[in-house]
């Protein structure tokens, strides 16, 4: 009988993509997802380190999955890179793999060792599957030093030997990191929309961000590799792909610092142009961009291809010129406004979503009002608001004398949430009586607005917002045309116009 695994993912779209790579490794070794009530043979936690709250959730998740020492836990991701020693000390943790190693190859070695320590009858052909699977070609080569973990005697386990410097993994040699991403996934299990990671690494050093310390090496996926992966994802049934990276705008470049880029055309535009032509792909979306990323060539590609949705995620972080300088962001307030204007000119009523940090050290009431002003001008349809979280070893964490009082931050967060509701409602009202393409993501079977005998389905439209509609003849993953009938502060409600939007061109949908 094959062993079982649990895989928990915290954090961003890149983490979610990398968890799919880990899932494929786990299943290639003969393991299967654990069912509720199972005691898995291994649990893998893909951690985040962007905020203090993320670090807290990392520890909480690890303790829950360790189940009192019954399940060996492998910790990977940004949290592992930032707080490896701390997480290694938690009960049940038997390996901590940061970003400076080939996580997939090392995870495979760990599983192989565990399977080899178990009776053959309990793992079936899993040993053969583990040995037959080769390491990813884009990996640096590392060796893990193992020793028995005597703290948890209830299961076979492994533990890396820490060095005197506190490193968890010891490199065999100083191998220069490759600048090319070649690892691929074939499907995005458990999701209707698939993420496609094409870039990793950042060296831009915003003063609040820990990521450049954890993922400093910039790497990009060649266009032909990305296109081949997109074709695999489409063949697996995904109609939408979201292109993602740590600093997506730096795709194809060796630095995220724009003043070092030169004047060449955007490599990201060339990638997007190629992906948009993948046969069978119905929607293509970008995860996150900054003003310097959105040049004329990129907007031209977005406007030229029906596959490219009229939605961009453009993090503002602050509308204050002074705060943006202290954040070390690579744009000014005026440049952000100019970008909003150019996007609106190029695309049809685009949906613009954003990130805003509230209570950055030194943020005055005037600074915060500047953020509200830009948010109102851009009419963001979604605002991801974050209270400032000091991260150790970042510049902003040292400015304690300028920290904003927590009560003030909470009050500002409420004001920003109120503005978001207003902007979202105003934006969605523009599309009343029009039809939007929706990828069905699920069924609201308990929704009180459902008619007798019908289910209320929901899914995301091209312009990102979610639509709820009654339908019985559609399934999760279907692309359907939905007419928007009613908009409330919290919901968009519509009527399904058919079982398949593939037969509805965009120009027809927009006038239905």
Q: What is the pLDDT of residue 115?
A: 65
Report the range out of 152-156, 240-244, 264-268 with the highest average pLDDT: 240-244
Residue 237: the pLDDT is 93
DSSP 8-state symbol, 141: P
Phi, psi of 441 (to 5 degrees): -110, -15
Give the burial string for 57-83 (b: 16+ CB within 10 Å, else e). Answer: bbbebbeebbbebebbbbbbbbbbbbb
Of the two residues 62 and 132, the one the predictor is more confident about is 62
The most confident of 1-15, 109-123, 305-319, by mean pLDDT: 305-319
For 207, phi and psi rounded to 5 degrees?
Answer: -70, -15
Element (H, E) at 228: helix 223-235
Q: Name, in order, each residue with C-beta under 8 angstroms of 3's C-beta and a sequence gap of 6 or more.
A: 30, 31, 32, 40, 41, 42, 115, 118, 122, 123, 126
475 has pLDDT over 90: no
Question: Which carries the bigger pLDDT value, residue 359 or residue 102?
Answer: 359
On the CB side of 200, how many CA atoms lie within 13 Å of its CA?
Answer: 26
What is the Cα–Cα distance from 271 to 238, expressed in whole angstroms? 19
- Say whether pLDDT at 411 is over 80: yes
Residue 163 pLDDT > 60: no
Q: What is the mean pLDDT of residues 108-120?
A: 69
pLDDT of residue 51: 85
* Amino acid 141: pLDDT: 25
pLDDT at residue number 313? 97
What is the four-CA torsion angle of 275, 506, 239, 426, rounded to 10 degrees?
100
Task: Say whether pLDDT at 301 is over 50.
Answer: yes
pLDDT tens sequence across 18-47: 999 999 989 988 899 988 888 888 899 999
State residue 178's pLDDT score: 61
Average model confidence (pLDDT) for the chain? Answer: 83
* Pick from 25-29, 70-74, 121-125, 204-208: least confident: 121-125
Tell whether the model's pLDDT for residue 509 goes beyond 80.
no
Instruction: Identify the top-confidence range among 69-83, 141-155, 442-456.
Output: 69-83
Q: What percent of the chain has pLDDT over 70?
A: 81
pLDDT at 103: 78
Secondary structure of 50-95 in HEC code, one letter for each residue: CCHHHHHHHHHHHHHHHHHHCCCEEEEEHHHHHCHHHHHCCCCEEE
How much is the pLDDT for 446? 42
pLDDT at 335: 96
Question: Which residue segments constitute the domains of the chain, with CATH numbers given?
Answer: 4-171 (3.40.50.12160), 193-429 (3.80.30.20), 435-509 (2.40.50)
114 burial level (CB within 10 Å; 0-12, 13-18, 19+): buried
Report the pLDDT value the prediction gives residue 71, as an integer from 0 to 100: 85
Using the CB atoms, write b or e for 224-251: b if 16+ within 10 Å: ebbbebbebbbeeebbbbbbbbbbbbbb
What separation, in Å, do the N-terminal and C-terminal C-alpha atoms of the chain show?
Answer: 54
Which of residues 143 and 34 earns the better pLDDT score? 34
Cα 215 from chain centre: 15
């Amino acid at each position: 009988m094959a062993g079982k695994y649990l895989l928990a993912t915290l954090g961003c779209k890149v983490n979610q993509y990398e968890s799919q790579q880990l899932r494929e490794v786990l299943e290639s070794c003969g393991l299967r997802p654990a069912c509720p009530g199972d005691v898995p043979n291994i649990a893998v936690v893909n951690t985040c380190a962007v905020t203090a709250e993320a670090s807290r959730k990392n520890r909480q998740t690890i303790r829950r999955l360790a189940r009192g020492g019954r399940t060996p836990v492998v910790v990977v991701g940004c949290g592992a890179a930032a707080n490896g020693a701390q997480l290694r000390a938690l009960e049940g943790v038997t390996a901590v793999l940061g970003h400076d190693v080939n996580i997939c190859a090392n995870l495979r070695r760990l599983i192989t060792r565990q399977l080899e320590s178990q009776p053959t009858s309990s793992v079936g052909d899993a040993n053969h599957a583990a040995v037959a699977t080769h390491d990813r070609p884009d990996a640096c080569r590392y060796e893990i030093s193992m020793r028995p973990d005597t703290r948890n005697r209830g299961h076979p386990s492994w533990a890396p030997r820490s060095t005197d410097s506190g490193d968890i993994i010891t490199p065999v040699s100083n191998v220069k990191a490759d600048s090319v991403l070649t690892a691929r996934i074939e499907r995005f299990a458990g999701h209707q929309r698939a993420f496609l990671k094409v870039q990793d690494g950042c060296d831009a050093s915003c003063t609040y961000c820990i990521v450049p310390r954890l993922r400093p090496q910039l790497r990009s996926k060649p266009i032909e590799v990305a296109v081949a992966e997109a074709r695999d994802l489409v063949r697996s049934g995904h109609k939408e792909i979201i292109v993602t990276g740590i600093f997506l705008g730096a795709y194809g470049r060796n630095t995220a610092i724009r003043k070092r880029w030169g004047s060449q055309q955007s490599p990201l535009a060339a990638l997007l142009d190629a992906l948009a032509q993948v046969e069978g792909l119905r929607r293509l979306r970008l995860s996150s961009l900054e003003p310097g990323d959105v040049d004329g060539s990129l907007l031209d590609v977005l406007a030229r291809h029906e596959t490219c949705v009229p939605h961009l995620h453009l993090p503002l972080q602050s509308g204050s010129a002074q705060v943006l300088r202290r954040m070390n962001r690579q744009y000014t307030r005026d440049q952000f406004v100019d970008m909003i204007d150019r996007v609106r000119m190029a695309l049809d009523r685009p949906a613009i979503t954003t990130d805003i940090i509230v209570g950055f050290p030194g943020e005055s009431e005037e600074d915060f009002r500047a953020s509200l002003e830009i948010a109102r001008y851009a009419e963001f349809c979604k605002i991801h608001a974050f209270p400032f979280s000091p991260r150790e070893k970042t510049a902003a964490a040292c400015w304690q004398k300028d920290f904003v009082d927590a009560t003030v931050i909470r009050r500002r967060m409420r004001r920003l949430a109120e503005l978001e509701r207003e902007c979202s409602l105003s934006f969605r009202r523009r599309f009343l009586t029009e039809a939007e393409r929706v990828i069905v993501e699920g069924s609201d079977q308990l929704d009180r607005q459902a008619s007798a005998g019908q289910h209320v389905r929901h899914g995301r439209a091209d312009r990102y917002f979610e639509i709820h509609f009654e339908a019985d003849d559609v399934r999760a993953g279907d692309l359907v045309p939905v007419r928007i009938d009613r908009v409330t502060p919290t919901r968009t409600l519509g009527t399904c116009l058919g079982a398949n939007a593939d037969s509805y061109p965009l120009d027809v949908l927009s006038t239905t």
